[in-house]
């Protein structure tokens, strides 16, 4: 394009931003005949200089000179400085376009150029190709031009132009093709359950395994209470092992954050921050804005071990992410919305001395135990779907039974909505979760009177998951009562209410 003697061109690239989210990067160039001068704006000066030096040298080695030209380049879009060397190739392509060379790539196909140049005009082999391809796909690019390794883990080769090993090759019609469509998750549900059946990890009681299935397959948040050595952390690992297989989109998002692991199956993230973690490290922040633990746990499990040891402001800050699965960060003029769709599990001692519920004698009074639990939960009281007290149990539930609960719950969530799968814990329209009869309806109102709407909704969603585990069409009284057994709000306020039957199976 020529405007008033000025040659203009623009190309697109894609890089991770400081927060790890994918970013479209626009590179513009304006060029005219005149005093030789070269500017690159939009990047730190030292970075801009090194890119320009490499690109001009690589172009010269390819036989292309920029003599007698005034060139202004602009890079638009925030990116992580660690990846900015990959802007060499798009900068070179933009310059070539402004010089009148045709734009490489399929006509009409939105193409991202990504690659670092060697001084002789070769495009360096792309590190982390899977991550780059997943990112480009999430941003809606049809193809990526870069120098790819022969095979990319998790990526099938098909029909998009992609391979380019040198600037000369930009104009060659023959390129190897790479598609970004086929990221795969290598873990299948049956294999996870099979492995589980033989693992000593899974030796938990009926109640604990019900909670584990609701937490993993229904995405309900869980606080696990019990004395040291009762298996709280082990249960969190059980829940992680039972997480549903990631779908295609989740695979791409997971791929963005995980270092490439040659040929390995995509596993959901498992984050376990230490209790000394700061608010910024937990939810994100800083300048430029970086992702926190909740975003690192996106599509995976966040475990807070010893919940009572975490700082109050940190727990407070978890309210928004746990509610809305996103976190808003603003710092000065920077604003960012980071995703954090996660499974949440926390563990804690059940009383100040830690022995409540164990064979050892607890020295705390009933009042002190209640107060401790209420204070520990504090800000998260109405964000937890389940509170489970782990007892040493002689009876262990069979994995075949667990598998039935699991499959029932997953299938019900899949069948319930016409527009696709939804975890019960995420459903906003809780009124659609109907009780079997007006008697159960009335009991729900009576028992939950005085609780916040948020807490009521959580109980109802959990009851729906419990009903789903049994394959029930409506929530029956027994499902509601079982859900209530996992809520401390009810335990704390109606301890004396003895109407709840205890299960013997
Ligand atoms: Zn105690």
d(CA 371, CA 485): 19
Please report the DSSP string for 439-472 in residue order: HHHHHHHHHTTTS-HHHHHHHHHHHHHHHHHTT-
Same domain, 229 and 376: yes
**pLDDT at residue number 195:** 59
How many angstroms separate the alpha carbon of residue 60 from the centre of ligand 1? 76
How many angstroms separate the alpha carbon of residue 358 from the centre of ligand 1? 9
Element of type H or E holding 479: helix 477-484
How many angstroms separate the alpha carbon of residue 458 from the centre of ligand 1? 29
**pLDDT at residue number 204:** 84
Residue 71's closest CA among 43, 103, 98, 102? 98
d(CA 80, CA 72): 22
How many angstroms separate the alpha carbon of residue 360 from the centre of ligand 1? 9
How many angstroms separate the alpha carbon of residue 45 from the centre of ligand 1? 60
Same domain, 429 and 329: yes
**pLDDT at residue number 303:** 97
CB atoms within 10 A of CB 275: 13
Q: Is residue 299 in a domain?
A: yes
Pinpoint the alpha helices (H) of 286-428: 293-296, 312-317, 319-324, 366-377, 399-416
d(CA 270, CA 302): 6
Q: Tell which of 171, 199, 217 closes a domain.
A: 171
Q: Tell which of 171, 203, 231 closes a domain.
A: 171
Indicate the pTM of the whole model: 0.80
Residues sharing a CB contact under 8 Å with residue 348, sequence separation 6 or more, in sequence order? 223, 224, 225, 232, 306, 307, 308, 376
Q: Is residue 505 in a domain?
A: no
Q: Tell which of 142, 171, 200 closes a domain.
A: 171
Q: Is residue 179 in a domain?
A: no
Same domain, 155 and 237: no
How many angstroms separate the alpha carbon of residue 380 from the centre of ligand 1? 22
How many angstroms separate the alpha carbon of residue 305 from the centre of ligand 1? 18
How many angstroms separate the alpha carbon of residue 370 from the centre of ligand 1? 11
Same domain, 140 and 87: yes
Same domain, 357 and 410: yes
Instruction: Dump pLDDT digits (tens) for 191-200.
Output: 556 655 556 5
How many angstroms separate the alpha carbon of residue 277 from the centre of ligand 1? 26
Q: Is residue 463 in a domain?
A: yes
**What CATH number does the domain containing 56 carry?**
3.30.230.10
Same domain, 155 and 240: no
**pLDDT at residue number 83:** 92
Q: Is residue 182 in a domain?
A: no
How many angstroms separate the alpha carbon of residue 355 from the centre of ligand 1? 5
How many angstroms separate the alpha carbon of residue 162 from the centre of ligand 1? 63
How many angstroms separate the alpha carbon of residue 356 from the centre of ligand 1? 5
d(CA 96, CA 9): 9
Please report the DSSP string for 179-220 in residue order: -SS-------HHHHHHHHHT-GGG---HHHHHHHHHHHHS--
Same domain, 341 and 240: yes
**pLDDT at residue number 177:** 43
* Token couple for 217: 């397959």
Q: Is residue 501 in a domain?
A: no
How many angstroms separate the alpha carbon of residue 175 from the centre of ligand 1? 69
**pLDDT at residue number 493:** 38
**pLDDT at residue number 160:** 43
Same domain, 125 and 222: no
Phi, psi dihedral angles at 164 (to 5 degrees): -150, 120
Q: Is residue 406 in a domain?
A: yes
Same domain, 135 and 236: no
How many angstroms separate the alpha carbon of residue 369 from the centre of ligand 1? 7
Same domain, 261 and 397: yes
**What CATH number does the domain containing 421 carry?**
3.40.50.300
For the CA atoms of 441, 443, 444, 445, the dihedral, rounded to the nearest 10 degrees, stands at 90
Q: Is residue 503 in a domain?
A: no
Same domain, 271 and 401: yes
How many angstroms separate the alpha carbon of residue 386 from the centre of ligand 1? 21
Collect the ranges in the chain with pLDDT lower than 50.
Answer: 157-161, 173-188, 261-263, 489-490, 492-505
Same domain, 202 and 321: yes
Residue 357's closest CA among 379, 375, 372? 372
d(CA 324, CA 110): 32
Sign of the Cα pseudo-torsion (399, 405, 410, 414, in order) = positive
Strand intervals (E) in 252-341: 270-271, 284-285, 290-291, 301-304, 326-331, 334-339
Domain of residue 404 covers 189-493
**pLDDT at residue number 377:** 77
The domain tally of the chain equals 2
**Ion ligand 1: residues, Cβ under 5 Å:** 351, 353, 356, 362, 364
**pLDDT at residue number 193:** 61
């Amino acid at each position: 394009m020529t405007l008033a003697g000025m040659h203009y061109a623009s190309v697109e690239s894609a890089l991770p931003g400081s927060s790890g989210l994918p970013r479209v990067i626009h590179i513009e160039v304006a060029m005219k005949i005149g005093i030789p001068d070269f500017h690159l704006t939009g990047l730190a000066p030292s970075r801009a200089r090194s890119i320009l030096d490499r690109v001009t040298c690589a172009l010269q080695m390819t036989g292309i000179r920029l003599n007698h030209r005034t060139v202004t380049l602009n890079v638009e879009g925030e990116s992580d400085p660690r990846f900015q060397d990959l802007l060499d190739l798009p900068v070179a392509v933009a310059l070539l376009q402004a010089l009148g060379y045709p734009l490489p790539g399929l006509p009409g196909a939105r193409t991202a150029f990504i690659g670092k140049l060697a001084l002789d005009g070769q495009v360096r082999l792309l590190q982390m190709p899977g991550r780059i391809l997943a990112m480009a796909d999430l941003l809606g690019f049809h193809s990526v031009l870069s120098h790819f390794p022969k095979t990319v883990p998790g990526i099938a080769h098909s029909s998009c132009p992609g391979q380019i090993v040198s600037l000369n090759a930009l104009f060659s019609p023959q390129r190897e093709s790479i598609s970004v469509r086929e990221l795969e998750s290598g873990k299948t549900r049956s294999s996870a359950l099979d492995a589980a059946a033989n693992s000593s990890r899974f030796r938990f009681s009926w109640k604990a395994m019900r909670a584990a299935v609701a937490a993993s397959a229904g995405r309900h948040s869980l606080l696990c209470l019990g004395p040291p050595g009762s298996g709280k952390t082990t249960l969190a690992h059980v829940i992680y092992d039972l997480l549903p297989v990631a779908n295609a989109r989740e695979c791409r998002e997971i791929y963005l954050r995980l270092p490439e692991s040659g040929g390995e199956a995509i596993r959901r993230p498992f984050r376990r921050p230490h209790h000394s973690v700061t608010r910024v490290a937990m939810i994100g922040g800083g300048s430029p804005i970086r992702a926190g633990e909740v975003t690192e746990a996106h599509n995976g499990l966040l475990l807070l071990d010893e919940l009572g040891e975490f700082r109050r402001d940190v727990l407070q800050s978890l309210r928004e992410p746990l509610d809305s699965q996103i976190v808003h960060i603003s710092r000065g003029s920077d604003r960012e919305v980071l995703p954090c769709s996660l499974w949440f599990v926390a563990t804690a001692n059940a009383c100040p001395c830690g022995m409540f519920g164990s064979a050892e004698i607890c020295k705390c009074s009933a009042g002190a135990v209640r107060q401790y639990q209420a204070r520990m939960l504090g800000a998260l009281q109405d964000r937890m779907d389940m509170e489970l007290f782990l007892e040493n149990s002689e009876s262990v539930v069979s994995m075949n039974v667990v598998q039935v609960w699991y499959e029932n719950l997953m299938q019900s969530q899949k069948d319930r909505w016409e527009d696709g799968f939804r975890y019960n814990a995420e459903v906003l329209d809780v009124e659609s979760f109907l009780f079997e009869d007006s008697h159960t309806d009335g009991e729900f109102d009576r028992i939950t009177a005085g609780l916040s709407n948020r807490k009521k909704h959580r109980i109802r969603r959990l009851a729906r998951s419990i009903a789903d585990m049994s394959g029930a069409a409506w929530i029956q009284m027994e499902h509601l009562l079982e859900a209530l057994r996992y809520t401390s709000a009810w335990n704390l306020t109606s301890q004396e209410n003895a109407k709840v039957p205890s299960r013997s199976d």
